[in-house]
Amino acid sequence: MIAFIQDQVVGQFGWLTPREFIDGLALGQLTPGPVLMIAAYVGYKVAGIAGAAVAATAAFLPSFIIMLIILPVLDRVRKLAWMRAVMRGMGPAVIGVLAVSLIRLAPAALPDPFAMVILAATVLALMVFRMGVFRLMIAGAALGVLRSYLPVLRGFRAATRLFTT
């Protein structure tokens, strides 16, 4: 869903810039239901509070109705061999869609070397040190705030612009 939303609102309609989409996605990750949150964020950016309500409803209601319809026969359908094969095949497809989305979002999410260093440190902390995601999110937010206030980091950002432009 996130890749589909990104393609529509950034690529096709141009309602959000890639950076705005990244910001909305980051905010959505802080709450339960990131797809619903990104839909509400896009709706808010396009049409205010009413747009957020319509977008959230439009993102949530179809799957809710489908689940209500499927729920009575779900156990029987799960036991069908072809349905288990479909579910196994969906895993790699979802990974592929997420990889394409990640590649498309990378330029907006990693605008400079400082952001790339934060990404590398985060991946290292997750994989090697098994740090919690919430702690890493708080650390990333703190680094982002510090970056805008510390003269050394502002100078680093100005110097990196010379090399990236």
Query: For 116-139, what is each residue's pLDDT tens digit?
Result: 888 899 999 999 999 888 898 888
Residues 85 and 118 in one domain: no
Residues 52 and 85 in one domain: yes
Residue 155 host element (H or E): helix 151-164
Helix 151-164 and helix 133-149, axial crossing angle in degrees, nearest 10: 90
Question: Is 141 a residue whose pLDDT tops 70?
Answer: yes
Query: For 103-113, what is each residue's pLDDT tens digit?
Result: 888 888 888 88
Query: For 42-78, what is each residue's pLDDT tens digit?
Result: 999 999 999 999 998 998 899 889 888 888 888 788 8
- Parent domain of 4: 1-108
Residues 65 and 80 in one domain: yes
Q: How far apart are CA 45 and CA 23, in angstroms?
A: 12
Cβ atoms of residues 55 and 40 within 8 Å = yes
Residues 52 and 125 in one domain: no
Residues 133 and 85 in one domain: no
Q: How far apart are CA 102 and CA 119, in angstroms?
A: 13
pTM (whole model) above 0.75? no
